[in-house]
Amino acid sequence: MTSSSLLVALAICVALLSQGSQAQLCSYFYDTTCPNVSAIVRSVVQQAQSSDIRITASLTRLFFHDCFVDGCDGSVLLDSSSTIVSEKGAVPNNNSVRGFNVVDNIKTAVENACPGVVSCADILALAAEASVNLAGGPSWSVLLGRRDGTTANITGANNLPSPLDSLSTLQSKFSAVGLGDTDLVALSGAHTFGRAQCRFFSNRLYNFSGTGNPDPSLNSSYLTTLQQNCPQGGDGTTLNNLDPTTPNTFDNNYFTNLQSNRGLLQSDQELLSTSGASTASIVNSFASSQSTFFQNFVKSMINMGNISPLTGSNGEIRCDCKKVNGS
């Protein structure tokens, strides 16, 4: 089965508890109020991709950074105001997360078709699915019905899973939002496309864990390449491919890279190289079967998308994704 033909149909609503009341997300939430929303989102993402090959990875990451902070409520999109301290200024986000202009373009296109109907939180979920598929990955029916939050949480954003985290810390952070080892490995597989700045892994190249030496788990030839790209004391913002083999394609090469000790980030390589890692067998399974990875990635994206959504009368439908209504 090819990546373009892999379609996971989820027409049955997933019942969730949100803020103490029964809430539902379902794939057909906008079927009568904005039936073309998925096509609109995909069209804008595809247009952006034509001039910025990185944007699909960036939009996928933006969804991750939204959902892991108080749930998938669009809070990562909010600018600072008299009442909001933006998550954009958090250490994991500052001068790192991107794609906000594309989200604004999607919102404009959606508002032109269906004013006041589709939340920014759902736009992020749809943009992530379109991004993965346009880069060669799987497609799935996105569960919808989220509403937008009216607050931001910079403290929570500063505690996002980090490229410097140990495996046990990553597992704890995933567990805190109801996600397990398979979700951790599958969602980390999104590092099969996109870029990372030198500052997020330069410690591995020169002074790993304060030893004064490189990370011993790094492939020696890969280490040499990275040291050339990221010289000691150099510009920490230089970009490097997360996947050195197929950097713009969503495939399972991320996992085969880990098997050859070519994981760019510490948090990547630790999934396999940590002694006794419970995640190692999952990495090997995904490395041996792209379809197995795709199937599990879809499940994990849906699981992540189900983290604490605002539904019903909670939250709002923002008119502008950058600010709460009335501000």
Residues tagged active-site: 65
Nearest to 157 by CA among 79, 81, 267, 65: 65
- The response to whether 165 counts as a known ligand-binding position is no
Enter the tokens of residue 266: 């510490």
- The response to whether 313 counts as a known ligand-binding position is no
The three-class DSSP label of residue 220 is: helix
For residue 103, count CB atoms less than 10 angstroms from its CB and return exposed for 0-12, middle for 13-18, buried for 19 or more: buried
d(CA 69, CA 75): 8
Enter the tokens of residue 235: 């510009």
- The response to whether 31 counts as a known ligand-binding position is no
- The response to whether 180 counts as a known ligand-binding position is no
- The response to whether 235 counts as a known ligand-binding position is no
Enter the tokens of residue 108: 């404009």
Enter the tokens of residue 152: 């931001």
- The response to whether 87 counts as a known ligand-binding position is yes
- The response to whether 251 counts as a known ligand-binding position is yes
- The response to whether 151 counts as a known ligand-binding position is no
Nearest to 267 by CA among 139, 169, 164, 146: 164
- The response to whether 243 counts as a known ligand-binding position is yes
Binding residues, as ranges, are: 66, 69, 71, 73, 75, 87, 161, 191-192, 243, 246, 251
Residue list for the binding site for Ca(2+)? 66, 69, 71, 73, 75, 87, 192, 243, 246, 251
Annotated binding site for heme b: 191
Q: Per the annotation, where are the binding residues for substrate?
A: 161
